[in-house]
Amino acid sequence: MARTAALKGRLASAGGQVSGWPWWVQVSGLYVAARLASAWIFMAAALHQGVNPWFPARPDYWSFINIWDARWYGEALQNGYPDVLPTDVSGAVQENAWAFYPLFPTLGRVLAGVTGMHPAVALTLIASVCGLGAALVVYGLFRLKATHGTALWGTLFFSTFPVSAVLQVPYAESLNLLLLAGALLLVVQRRYLSAMPVVVLMCLSRPTGVPFAAMAGLLLLYRLWQRRAERRRGEGTGEGHRTLHAAPAPGSAAPAPGSAAPSSGAELWSLAGLTAVSGIGALLWPAIAWAITGDLQAYTKTETVWRGHDLVPFRPWFDTGVMLFGPTLGVLAPFVFVALFALLMMSRPVAALGTELRLWCSCYLGYLLVFLHPQTSTFRMLLPLFPLALSAALVSRSRAYRGTVVLMFLLLQIVWIVWLWAWAPLPGGGDYPP
């Protein structure tokens, strides 16, 4: 009993010391620890990796993380993008680098050129640094909505999410999340003009421009409605636009700047500009592909090669539903999924995210429903829904609950890496992509 009490005392003392560290040190320490845990899982899985298309069995860590789409980013870095879309004898477009957005390989090319390091090392370093940066910005965004402790737990959930291991491999996810989190942070703060260059870069990192433009457009309509309603109330009471704010309770989250105040005319024009910039940014990469190849559908043709069929909005979800649940339940499954997500968006923990983040999550899921072909890569594509990590932390302040979530996420990381990242041939050839 005495030893147990002494151990608890030492742990409490250590916890007190850590809580006194600057927030960025705490976030960085938790994120690095999460990435080390993922690295250990990668290395353990590599020991069981058999014959594969890229390297000998039982590869080292660095070889093991440089597979799948990492090879395509390396191709774009070293050889650029083809002027003519590659086709087979029947004229069907084949897999090529146009499906992979240019900002990540361009940064890798610059870093490799300046330092002389191997391209794969440059891409891995950029991904790792951007992942850490994303965690810091995510904490800053969460801190606008919650206390330090809850924001820290939400960031830890983000850092240990079952597919978070992708943040340390040469994929563009970490760069995109850094830019997305930064853009959302600026939007919540109503710094719309500052968000514009960030959004343009985000649109050149991964295809998140369309849902962001939809979010900005809907937010503009909401702000216009809000301003009109405020004017009507002011006319009815004779009080104009005066808005009262209650002082926050001690230890509570700082309110987001201007979160309850009506939008000014300048703010609305800035938000309209952000909406336009987001829409243009969303079309920028397909337009570049068109300009270089001369094919208006160069990007979409390339993107759909991995699907095996043309893009038909919504249909893949019903096809997958039928495949999984049969002809009757399968048709109903997408509607049930949407209904459950709508209930989630109306729940109290998600409502605490505020208008902007709830709109983002809704628009991004809507984008996935319209354009995504659901498959094993879908798990990775859920990362932009990272604001829901804060909602998960807001469900309960219990350390047992929060610790259990982290533990389950780490266990599911093992499942994701062993099942999807490690390559194993399917009976019909190929493998499930991560």
pLDDT digits (tens, 9 = 90+) for 30-71: 999 999 999 999 999 999 999 899 989 999 999 999 999 999
| Residue 192, domain member (yes or no) | yes
With the CA atoms of 369, 372, 374 and 376 taken in that order, what torsion angle do they form, in degrees rounded to the nearest 10? -130
Biggest CA–CA distance in the chain, Å, is 78
Would you state the pLDDT for residue 362? 98
Residue 95 lies in a domain: yes
Segments forming the whole domain that contains residue 152: 22-236+261-421
17 lies in some domain: no
Residue 5 lies in a domain: no
- In a domain? residue 247: no
User: DSSP readout, 55-79?
Assistant: S-SS--HHHHHS-THHHHHHHHHHH
Q: What percent of the chain has pLDDT over 90?
A: 77
- Distance from C-alpha of 341 to C-alpha of 353, rounded to nearest angstrom: 15
Question: What local confidence, expressed as pLDDT, does residue 235 receive?
Answer: 73
> Is the separation of the CB atoms in 387 and 353 below 8 Å?
yes
- What average pLDDT score do residues 166-181 get? 98
Does residue 269 register a pLDDT over 50? yes
Nearest-angstrom CA–CA distance, 75 and 97: 7
pLDDT band at 104 (very low <50, low <70, confident <90, very high): very high
Burial profile 364-393: b = 16 or more Cβ within 10 angstroms, e = fewer: bbbbbbebbbbeebebbbebbbbbbbbbbb
pLDDT band at 143 (very low <50, low <70, confident <90, very high): very high
Identify the residue whose tokens are 């191997």.
118
How many folded domains does the chain comprise? 1
State the Cα–Cα distance between residues 27 and 157, nearest whole angstrom. 12
Q: Which helix (H) or strand (E) holds 276?
A: helix 265-293
This prediction has a pTM of 0.92
- What pLDDT digit, counting tens, does each position of 221-267 carry? 999 998 888 888 777 666 554 443 444 443 455 555 445 566 788 89
Residue 3 inside a domain? The answer is no
Q: What percent of the chain has pLDDT over 70?
A: 90
